[in-house]
Amino acid sequence: MNQIEWINGKKVEYIDDTHTYIVDGVVVPSVTQIVSTVLPSPYKNIEPDVLKQAADRGIALHEEIEQFEKDGVMGSSIEFNHYLYLKKQYVFDAVDNEKLIVLEYNGKVICAGRLDMIIQIGGKKDLGIGDIKRTYQLHMDHLKLQLNLYRLGYMQSYGKHIDYLKCLHLRKWTYGFVDVPIDEDYARTSIKRYLEVNETIDQ
């Protein structure tokens, strides 16, 4: 689904078909593209058809969870039922879903993205980011960078503090509610590295 939001006076558009982000009429990289530039891909030896199939299943699961959280529509997949179990076990609520963010560095827009959900645990007011992953295994370096970039972007975009980062790892035969460490220095250093790489490419 396409989205348009105004964030800090900037018009932010997300085009779903192409996974494209546009800020004030200019196409900008996604958070995922920043991560893939800075860190080596864990999927480079996997066949494209296999990756496409896995991506489609991941999208379907995200849609199940979003429809449940927004409209109360129950999903039917095993992974969705694992989500309900984790939700009950860890007593978290999704207070927002598929939230657009813009990340700036030194006053310049670096990237944009959509985080899966903003959550609260145990009725407490502290806010966290919840990220849904259906991958066979979690690649913690990539996950840590992705969620820390989302965190910086969300705090810049909405002026609200993010106190914790969680990954909801949902597979048919396994599931988990995984802590991801907050590391602002890592995120900022990675942004610098991305800008250095881009500068080299442009020359």
Per-residue pLDDT reduced to its tens digit, 99-145? 999 999 999 999 999 999 999 999 999 999 999 999 888 999 999 99
Q: What is the pLDDT of residue 23?
A: 98
Domain ranges of the chain: 37-202
* pLDDT value, residue 182: 98
Using CA atoms, how far residue 128 sits from 148, 165, 182, in Å, is 11, 5, 11
Query: Which residues of the chain are under the pLDDT cut of 70?
Result: 42-47, 50-51, 199-203
Contact 187, 111 (CB under 8 A): no
- Architecture per CATH, 37-202: Alpha-Beta Complex (3.90)
